[in-house]
Chains A and B, each alone.
Chain A
Amino acid sequence: MTQPIAFLDGPWWPYLALVLFAVLPTEIWRWLAVAFARKLDENSPWLEWVRLVATSLLAGVVAKLVLAAPGALAGVPLAVRLAALAVAVTIVLAWRRVMLAVLVGEVVLIGGAIWLS
């Protein structure tokens, strides 16, 4: 687990870390958009590249959360975690229903966890 930066550690550390390493890197793009809204070409290939890199990055987060699972999820067999994802993706591809996919994926995961433990 990532440790607090030593000389900034204290009861406020979680909030400081949140603002420095999550709020700022996220919010800055919204502010820049306000500043450059009239100058930016939204069809530029650069923005297309950025969108695809962000998509790939997010898919990577999904893979990490499922393969190197945190907390209680680590106790669920890998096959069950992968099955839950596979079922959800199949439902989205077949019917384009995200809510249904999430619910059925959760049923597979929780059901599998109960059945195999």
Chain B
Amino acid sequence: MTEAAPNQWLRPWARGFRDAAMLPAWIVGLSLMGVGTLARDVGYPVEAAVLSTFLVWAGPSQVLFFASIAAGAAWSAIALAIGFASLRFLPMTVSLLPLLRRPGQSVAQQMLIAHFVAVTAWVEALRRLPNIPPEQRVGYFLGFANALIVVSAFCTYAGFHLAGIVPTPVAAGLLCLTPIFFLSSMVAGVRGLGDAVAIGFGLALAPVAGWAIGGGFDLIASGVIGGSIAFLIQRWRKARKAGA
């Protein structure tokens, strides 16, 4: 360690923290506010809701968790659905780690970095990190991600308590934040026909599967069927384009 070491970490960290706290953190926070409301709805304590933001740090997983409990799904089905919904973190983290790799980095450090990978932190990091000197990147990324997670934890807490004091229509609005936010950001992220088909089939199949299968496995079934159809259509399109 040299004399300059704390500075080398702290300044990029502070800059990352500030950049996130300007706006992105509040957008993520808004999406996690509904998680607090959902947790209250199934009778879980506020600590569990806030802890879910710190430890799970994945809106979809948290929503699946509390919404599935509300729907009476089997525990095995809940874990499986969350596992499937979080699989995306594998390719996301794999693509991000090379940008943050430093000589002599320990596995523990890499696991800490990996824990903060979630949609917003990932998208923003891929966009911002290449413009930052490599030795400042880890500090910047951690500062950025820390701001996201702290603001989101606060919003989860607020969502839990607000649900008890606001008038019923506003409480309904808090509960609806999550579906509206998810669908909007998914539609905004559509990059091709495959994505659009996956969203369309997911929306249409889930209610049908809920009626036909139930028990929480309906979500996995509709996801696998919808996603596979989307995948096949995308492959077929690519093959046709390549052939033409």
Contacts and interface: CB of A to CB of B under 8 A. Distances in A.
Interface residues of A, number: 77
B187 A57 contact: no
A89 B183 contact: yes
Given A45-B235, A59-B202, A93-B187, A28 B83 contact: yes
Contact of A54 (B57, B85, B179, B188): B85
B94 A36 contact: yes
Interface residues of B, number: 106
A21 B65 contact: yes
A14 B45 contact: yes
B81 interface: yes
A34 B86 CA distance: 15
B27 interface: yes
Nearest to A89: B187
Contacts of B8: none
A10 interface: no
B97 A37 contact: yes
Contact of A52 (B56, B187, B230): B230
Contacts of A48: 194, 231, 234
Interface string A102-115: 10011001100110
Interface string A11-46: 000110111111111111111111011001010010
A102 B30 contact: yes
B242 interface: no
Interface of A: 1-2, 5, 14-15, 17-34, 36-37, 40, 42, 45, 47-73, 75-76, 81, 84-85, 88-89, 91-93, 96, 98-99, 101-102, 105-106, 109-110, 113-114, 117
Given A36-B94, A58-B202, A96-B188, 12 more contacts: A17-B75, A22-B64, A29-B83, A37-B94, A50-B88, A51-B91, A60-B206, A61-B182, A66-B176, A69-B176, A72-B163, A109-B180
